Structure 1
Amino acid sequence: MDGVTASKDDDDDTTHYVELKTFRMLNTPKDRFTFERYKLLAFWIQSYLVGVPTIRVGFRNESFILTKEQAFETDHLPRYGDKHW
């Protein structure tokens, strides 16, 4: 767990843990395969076991500069890995 998100509404108790990850940009089919087959599985195992509902992945270029960010719901990760896991 790397952080938390919280609602600004005092009546809403929706504090959730969030996991932060980085990976290289998915420029080739091999990059996508590696990400879906290995990285998402590792992200899912780590986050699911401790109840982290959201994983935010920053995609970096070859100069290690983040160029894109995407949120993944932990419960939905097995759908990405269906063909690989």
Structure 2
Amino acid sequence: MNALAVLTGGAVPDPGLGEAPPEIAERVNTVLSLIAWLGVAACIAGVFFTAIAMVIAYRRGDLGDQMGRFGMVLAACILIGSASALVTWAIG
């Protein structure tokens, strides 16, 4: 007999399929949907504000720094847009 069987009285409890109770699953889905919506809104705002900064920098003749910022904003948008697929892939 192993130590776990001795500590539990010989019976190891079955955790089931690992499904959350429906009321908790609904709340978690609501929070995750809100976070996803806020992420998309942040992407749109980031592109918008970076575009404004690029126009101002272009008029000043200093566009180089803004192109790097625009690249970072686009990379963040791609990461946020593909987050669901990346998590699904990572979990398996």
Same fold (TM over 0.5): no
When normalised by structure 1's length, the TM-score is 0.31
Higher normalized helix content (fraction of residues): 2
Looking at secondary structure, tell me which structure has more strand per residue. Answer: 1
TM-score for the superposition, normalised by structure 2:
0.29
Structure number with the bigger relative contact order (C-alpha 8 A, sep ≥ 6) is: 1
| Structure with the greater alpha carbon radius of gyration | 2
